[in-house]
């Protein structure tokens, strides 16, 4: 039978642990603080914005929340980020995506100080990750690695196929798995014979943004299937990129949607905030 990898349960386990970590940091006179910047009032971004506020408060992380007008200029946004960079009491900086069209996402993300880049998207931190010298790392791939570890699924020596080459999931996850001694193939919309490639995967990660595109014909019997997709159908139902009921007939392990990778992303963000705050405590001790 397919084992469903319960990200919700693991996220709760992390929340309890992170609360203790936050208290230990506060005992050194440091309040872990995350600055969250949102440009405009995109409904989906607002939902994530509020959920992060709630989770941070539960764990014991302070947030400094700024909502700028949707027509904010590039200069104004970068000026705000630089203020966060210079604030000693701020340990992590998060810019909610997507950004309005007049803003250059790459320039905005590069304006964040690498040592406060809680999302792990700064080119400096991505470069360190590929050199196996990781600082802050992207949170969704970190959540996937945590799920694999929880279920004692060691990637070493495994053949991994990743569908999707985004800088948020596919590329950084490939680096993490490579650092963990897996053999990696990245596929994408231009890949030929996708089905043939995925059927050789011991671990298949699907981050394609296509509702239920992966059925059991793409799956090697007993494979570990990680579904990163979150898609809302016209009926309102939320599904992943994997046809879950079909794939359950063949996969050994599967992350459900919802309740798989999604809950892990937010707790990894909070874990990384605490890690950056802890570094400030260690710096003060020197």
φ and ψ at 61, to 5 degrees? -100, 130
Residue spans per domain, the chain: 29-113, 139-263
Q: Which residues contact 196 (CB under 8 A, 6 or more apart)?
A: none
Give the CATH superfamily of 139-263.
NAD(P)-binding Rossmann-like Domain (3.40.50.720)
For residue 186, the surrounding DSSP H or E stretch is strand 183-187
Strands of the sheet containing 62-68, edge to edge, are 62-68, 33-39, 92-95
For residue 286, the model assigns a pLDDT of 47
Distance CA 271, CA 265 (A): 10
Whether a cis peptide bond, with omega within 30° of 0, leads into 98 is yes
Query: Rg of the chain over CA atoms, in angstroms?
Result: 19
Distance CA 104, CA 82 (A): 16
CA 202 to centroid of chain Cα atoms: 22
139-263 and 29-113 share a CATH fold:
yes
Measured over the CA atoms of residue 247, residue 249, residue 251 and residue 255, the dihedral's sign is positive
The pLDDT profile of the chain, 286 residues, written as one tens digit per residue, is 899 999 999 999 999 999 999 999 999 999 999 999 999 987 777 888 888 899 999 999 999 999 999 999 999 999 999 999 999 999 999 999 889 999 999 999 999 999 999 999 999 999 999 999 978 999 999 999 999 999 999 999 999 999 999 999 999 999 999 999 999 999 999 999 999 999 999 999 999 999 999 999 999 999 999 999 999 898 889 999 999 999 999 999 999 999 999 999 999 999 999 999 998 776 555 4
CA 103 to centroid of chain Cα atoms: 22
Residue 230 annotated in ligand binding: yes
Q: Which residues contact 124 (CB under 8 A, 6 or more apart)?
A: 114, 117, 135
CA 11 to centroid of chain Cα atoms: 13
Q: Beta strands 231-232 and 238-239: pairing type? A: antiparallel
CATH topology of domain 29-113: Rossmann fold (3.40.50)
Other CB atoms within 10 A of residue 192 CB: 7
Residue 164 annotated in ligand binding: yes
Contact 111, 78 (CB under 8 A): yes
Distance CA 275, CA 59 (A): 13
């Amino acid at each position: 039978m397919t084992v469903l990898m319960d990200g919700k349960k693991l996220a709760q386990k992390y929340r309890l642990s992170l609360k203790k970590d936050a208290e230990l940091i506060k005992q050194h006179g440091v309040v872990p603080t995350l600055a969250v910047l949102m440009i405009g009032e995109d409904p989906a971004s607002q939902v994530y914005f509020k959920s992060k506020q709630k989770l941070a408060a539960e764990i014991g992380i302070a947030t400094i929340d700024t909502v700028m007008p949707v027509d904010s200029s590039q200069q104004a946004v970068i000026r705000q980020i630089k203020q966060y960079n210079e604030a000693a009491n701020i340990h992590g900086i998060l810019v909610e995506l997507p950004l309005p069209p007049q803003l250059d996402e790459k320039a905005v993300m590069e304006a964040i100080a690498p040592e406060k880049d809680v999302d792990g998207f700064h080119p400096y931190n991505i470069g360190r990750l590929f050199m196996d010298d990781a600082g802050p790392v992207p949170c969704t791939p970190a959540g996937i690695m945590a799920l694999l570890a929880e279920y004692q699924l060691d990637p070493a020596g495994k053949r991994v196929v990743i569908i999707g080459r985004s800088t948020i999931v596919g590329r950084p996850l490939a680096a993490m798995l490579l650092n963990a001694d897996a053999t990696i193939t990245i596929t994408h919309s231009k890949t030929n014979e996708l089905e043939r490639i995925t059927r050789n995967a011991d671990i298949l990660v699907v981050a394609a943004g296509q509702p239920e595109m992966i059925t059991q014909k793409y799956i090697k019997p007993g494979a570990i299937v990680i579904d990163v997709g979150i898609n809302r159908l016209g009926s309102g139902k939320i599904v992943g990129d994997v046809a879950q009921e079909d794939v359950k007939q063949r996969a050994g392990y599967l992350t459900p949607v919802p309740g798989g990778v999604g809950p892990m992303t937010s707790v990894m963000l909070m874990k990384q905030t605490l890690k950056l705050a802890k570094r400030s405590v260690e710096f003060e001790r020197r």
